[in-house]
Each structure stands twice: as C-alpha cells, then as structure tokens.
Chains A and B, each alone.
Chain A
Amino acid sequence: MNFLGAEDGQAHMGAGKEGKKGLVHPVVWVTLIVFLLLPLVISKPLATEILIYSVFALAFNLLLGHTGVLSFGHAAYFGLGSYTAGIMYRYFNAPVFVGLIAAMTVGALIAAGIGAVSIKKKGVYFAMISLAFAQMFYFLAFSPLSNWTGGECGLKSIPKLKLDYPFHVDLMSSWNLYYFTFLIAALAIVILWRIFDSPFGRVLQGIRENEERVTACGYNMVLIKFVSLIFSGAFSALAGSLLTVYLGYVPISTLFWMTSGMILLMTLLGGIHTFIGPVVGVGVFQILQSTISSYVERWEFFVGALFMALVLFFPEGIVGTIKTKYEGGRKTVHE
C-alpha cells in the first residue's frame, strides 16, 4: 500500500487518488486552456516568456518541491540549453527541433556531471556547489570561450528560424512563435505531470518527506535524486532552447546566477508543494514585473522585499496558501 505512512503527505500533494483515470489532472487541462487563450489577453512577447519560464519553473520544482533538493545553479541548465540551441542554429544550420533535442541532451549530460560530484552532499551544500558550477559556466562563456559564445554580447547572428516539417511555418511571426512554443511547452508540461504522478514521482515525494524512511524501504536514494536531477536539467535546458527560438539570440544572462534566483523566486511565489504552483508564480511575477517596472525604477527593491515577506509569511506560495485555506485546517507538511 502506501509506504509513506503519513496520509497527510499524499493527500496534501493532491497527487491523485488510487486508480486515477485520464492522462492528466484537470488542473493541467485548465492550465493548457489558459495558455491557449493567453495571447488574447496579454501581449504575445509576455505570454511567450511566461510559457518558457513555466516550463523552467516546473522542471526546477521537480527537484525542489518534489524531491526536496535545492539547486541554486539551475541557470547552468537553462543557459547551456539556450547556448546549445543557439550554437546548433548558428554554426550548424540545424533544424529547429534538432536544436531543441540537442539542448535537452546537453542539459541531461551536464546535470549528470554535476550530480556525479555533488548529489551526495547535504541540502545547503549542494545548493552552494550548484551555484558555483553555474557561475563557472557563466565565466567560461564570458571570456575564454567567447569565440564560440559571443562572450558578453551573447550569441548573435542566428538565422531566421522556420519549421519545414511537418508544415512550413515561419517563426518570425509572433503568433506562430507563440503557438509553436505552446505546443512544445504543453508537451513538456504533460510529461512532467506524468513524472510527478508516477510511482517514481511518489518516491521523490517520499524522499522529500523522510529520506531515511525511503532508504529503509530499500530505495537507492542517491540514485533516485540523481535521476530527478537529470530530468530537471533536461527540461530546464528545453526551456532555455525555447528562449533561443523566441529571442533569436542567446543572452549571457541565461547563465547568470540571477536567473537561478529568479526561478527560485517565481517557484516559491507560486507554491513549491503543488504541481501547478510554479506556473502560477511565473505568471503572476512576469505580469507584475512587466507593469511595475514601467513605473518604478528600483523594482528590485520591491522584488527582494516581496521575497522576504513571502518566505516569512506565505511559505506555501499563492497556490499552496489557497489550497490550505480551501482544505481547511489540514496540517501542511514542511521541509
């Protein structure tokens, strides 16, 4: 039956009851429909960015909210995914899909590499080390490898992208671009949900709740964390490659630690203990940022203050807090 023991864990996660039918939870369907209609409500660039960062946040939260592992260097996967796609398009004239797949592969490999030397470390130390590695990639892209990466200016001269297969689609039009991104993102979201909802996903949550117990049940905890990291890295890289397609260019900020910080912020804002929380966090944050920064020059001050308030008073984030209120009195399980 249920090896987690505590009923709280499973019910709180809302991960689905036994014998669940259908491909995905209704929440996911609602999200996809919202995204389908989003560009009618807000500007297409903003909507595309929300899509991209949602995928990134979900991938990031696979590791943080579901496995309980904090990585402060996820910009590495995002950025390297971005650069991989950019390099494939610019130097090898690769088709769009090839760039995306190459990016995911690189993301997975890098995650494997970093995981190999550090996944055994305890929570905060893994966080530090992941940050340091991410910065290493940043500095490498900045100076020594600048002939390939364009250095501080980023990777330019990416040719105009278009799809040739299965239809001919010009990706310069912002509508086409949005719905192309939507297709890929929707696929990623569904896959990530399937991971979350699978037996593997349950074990991840078990690790988050109680590492020793999971080990006692005979699971190789280190291996499982490692695999989770690889999935997280691969999908973060996918998000990065989508950014390359959207911008037509790779900025070096994709590798900078602020990117890691921002995705953490957005994920936390939405709520790390739910599946769809991060997406809500991304949406709210991006829209806020887009509106506030036109009026306020020092918006980072507000973001920082918001973050501190969030951590102190609303650690479960938007969706998490709503959920707890809705479920009325159910004790939330903390890290």
Chain B
Amino acid sequence: MEITWQLLLMQFIFGLSIGSIYILVAGGLSIILGLLDVVNFAHGTFYMLGAYTLYVLISLSGNFWVGVVSAVIIVSLIGGLTERLLLKPLYPRGIFYPLFMTFGFSICIPDLIKIIFGLTGKGIGYPAGFMGAFLLGPIIIPKYRLFIIGLTFVTFLGLWLFLKKSNLGMIIRAATRDSLMVEVLGINISRIWTFGFMLGIGLAALAGAISAPMVSAIPDMGLDILIDSFVVVVIGGLGSLSGAVIGSLLVGQVVSFVSLFAPAFSHAAIFLVMGLVLILRPRGLLGEEGRF
C-alpha cells in the first residue's frame, strides 16, 4: 500500500470524526464522574437510547433535526429521572452501589429495547443535504463526517462557555471540586447533581443520535463505546474535562491509523496506549495530581 499524504489526510479526517463522537460520550462521562464520583456504566445505554429515540421521532415527524434535538431532550429527562429514582437513594451507601445500579441498568434496558424494537436494530437515513462527499482531487471527505466534527466543536464550545461564564456553570465546577463546600454554602447540591447527570447524559444521547445514520440503531451499540470512553477518560485524566477532549482526539487518531496499518489491532491498541499512560503518567495527561 502506498502511503501518500492524501491517504494520511483522509485517515486523519476520519480519525477526527471518530474522536468527535468520543468527545461527546467521554465528555459526558467525565462530567458525571467528576461531579458525582459515579462511574456511569449506563452511559453507553443512554447513547443507544439517543439513537433509538431519534428513530422513533423521525418515524413520527419525518424531520431529522427535530428528531435530534428532541432525542437529546427526552433522553436527558430519562437520565434525570433515573438519577432521582435509582441513584439518589444509593449515595449514602458508598461509592460502589450507584455503580452497581448503573451496571444493572445497562443489562436491563438494552433487552427492553430488544423486546420493543426487535433484535436487529433500525436503520436511519442521512439527513438531506448531508449525503455524499466533497471531492478535492483524490481526497474524498464525506459531508456527514464534517457535520459531526463541526457539531461537536460547536457543542463543546457552548459547554465550555456555559461552564466558564454562567453562574450555574460556576456552581457545577465548584461542586466538581468540593461538593460538601457547595452544600455548606447553601446550594441544593442534590439538584446540581441531577442537572449535571442530565448534562452528561444529554451529550451521550447526542452522540448516539448523530452516530445512528452511520452505524444504525442497534440495541448493543452502547457496549463498545462505553469501554472506549473509559479508556479515553483514563488517558485524558480522571476528573478533567479538557483531558477527556484531548484523550478523545488522541484515541480517535489511534483507532484510525491503527486501522490503516494493523487492522487486527484496531480494538486492542487503545488499551495498550492506556496501559502506557498508566505506567508513565498515572494521573493521565491532564489529570489532577492526587485526586484519584
């Protein structure tokens, strides 16, 4: 195989689009992790719910964009309900029980989806105007991939502005550092937690919805993405949102280029990278020293 710069560029762009999905999912996971100290095993399940909700909404409304926005809102609400009803009672029991609960959720819900929607999953069409690709000589860039990259960028910009500039964002950042302190200052920490959870879930649902046209809505689609997100969060640094972003971009490129040079390793490679990071820089690339 000839290694041309065009090949590398195309591979890089695909890596960016893979990384973008990771940014959304791992970013959401990181927010929940940092804020609630809960490893959300159900994160992949909400990703999947985003895709299926989009499917349902497209069947009802016929419009992709309406579907995406509504899917994010609806799944976030489901996330909020889940946090209130299933997780909140478990916080006093210590760090493991909320984790167990999310794990049970991740086994139960995909099966529920299989019961309702069948086993093989549902296909979703690309939105009009985003089918096909841009051709720049020998370089082909699918329009939809660019859309994913762009949307992720805009979403994250919005998220960053929200966290840095708004009052609620400031409270969330503070609560991520020290929830007890925030509570002492008179703020209803329980509501902050619910909101933070919903935020993280919303990002996962968005990722699921926009992935759906490419990979179809499949009941078990959350599995792989969940584990990949764990790897990203560990690499990027536990507790750091910007770490999650850097980790995502890195992992996206690793997956892309390993697929090019050694496809058999395309799944295993990111774990090897994670192992390396754990040995050389245990707190992750941008992680906080000593917190974990």
Contact = CB atoms under 8 A, between A and B. Distances in A.
Interface string B217-240: 000000000010011011000100
B271 A124 contact: no
B90 interface: yes
A303 B108 CA distance: 7
Interface in A102-151: 117-118, 120-125, 127-129, 131-133, 135-136, 139-140, 142-144, 146
Contact of B267 (A117, A139, A308, A335): A139
Contact of B104 (A118, A133, A304): A304
A64 B93 CA distance: 15
A180 interface: no
Given A129-B278, A143-B268, A315-B93, A307 B227 contact: no
B111 interface: yes
A124 B94 contact: no
A268 interface: yes
Nearest to A122: B292
A117 B86 CA distance: 33
Contacts of B234: 125, 128-129, 132
Contacts of A128: 39, 230, 233-234
Contacts of B265: 143-144
Contacts of B227: 131-132, 135, 257
Given A117-B279, A140-B268, A335-B93, A311 B100 contact: yes
Q: Is the contact region of chain B dominated by helix, strand, or loop, or is it mixed?
A: helix
B108 A301 contact: yes
A146 B265 CA distance: 11
B157 interface: no
A125 B95 CA distance: 11
Given A129-B234, A334-B94, A300 B111 contact: yes
Contacts of B103: 261, 264, 307
A331 interface: no
Interface in B22-61: 33, 37-39
Contacts of B105: 304, 308
A137 B60 CA distance: 43
A298 interface: yes
Interface of A: 70, 117-118, 120-125, 127-129, 131-133, 135-136, 139-140, 142-144, 146, 257, 261, 264-265, 268, 298, 300-301, 303-308, 310-312, 315, 334-335
23 contacts: A70-B96, A117-B275, A117-B278, A124-B39, A125-B39, A127-B39, A127-B96, A129-B234, A132-B227, A132-B234, A136-B272, A139-B268, A144-B262, A257-B227, A261-B103, A305-B108, A307-B107, A310-B104, A312-B90, A315-B97, A335-B95, A335-B96, A335-B97
Interface of B: 33, 37-39, 86, 89-90, 93-97, 99-101, 103-112, 114-115, 227, 230-231, 233-234, 238, 262, 264-265, 267-268, 271-272, 274-275, 278-279, 282, 292
